[in-house]
Amino acid sequence: MRGGFAICPLRSAVCEDIIVRNNIASGVTFAGFMVFGDECGETNQGLFYNNVAHSSNGERGGYGAIIKPKNSGTECYEASYFAAYKNKDFGAFGYYESKQVIFHHMTMIDNAGGFGAALAFKGSDVYEEAIISLNDNHIYGETEVSDCPEDGSQYCFNIPKSGLFMTGITEKGQGSAYCVTSHPTMGNAGVYTSLGLISCLIGNQMWAISS
């Protein structure tokens, strides 16, 4: 699976009581963590808590963490208290069937995509209930620590970066709605959202995002 911590990757497997806490994943080719999130409102479960991923870099990979619902048919799942830096793709990513996803109390530093929060759902019957939420996170853009040494002596990657990327699979022709109340002095620079579903950015703080 090319994952540092690939938790229960086989669809046929039955996995119970797996807790991933206080770990560091680095230099992985696909994803530092491939893990379950918590049911919404049950953060104290701590299935994925206080972990760090950095320097993930590979072909069609480079994620800090790919976070999915624990159970099929989950209507809302969340993840929190995670940090990711210097990853070639998204620092935290989720793209699974659910009506709602919430990422909160995370720190993203100098990743290519920052947050990649998405929903995949079928049919218009669940469209009006689909919500993506990013709350109380810290997002840093490019730091003084360059991805590429000035003398070019080491392998590196130099790519455009963004703080947030929020999208989803929706029915064609639907409108869009946003509830955006990020940090009042930092604004929402570096945010990419697509049409099609409700996106909520509440209490996030952003630094050094240029565009």
Q: Does residue 61 surpass a pLDDT of 60?
A: yes
Q: How confident is the model at residue 191 (pLDDT cuts 50, 70, 90)?
A: very low
Q: Does residue 35 surpass a pLDDT of 80?
A: yes
d(CA 148, CA 154): 7
Domain ranges in the chain are: 3-9+20-141+159-207
Q: Can you point out the beta strands (E) in 23-163?
A: 24-26, 31-36, 38-39, 48-49, 51-54, 63-68, 76-80, 82-85, 92-96, 100-104, 107-109, 115-120, 131-135, 138-140
For 62-114, the pLDDT digits (tens) are 999 999 998 888 889 999 999 999 999 999 999 888 888 899 999 999 898 88
d(CA 211, CA 186): 12
What percent of the chain lies above the pLDDT cut of 90?
Answer: 32
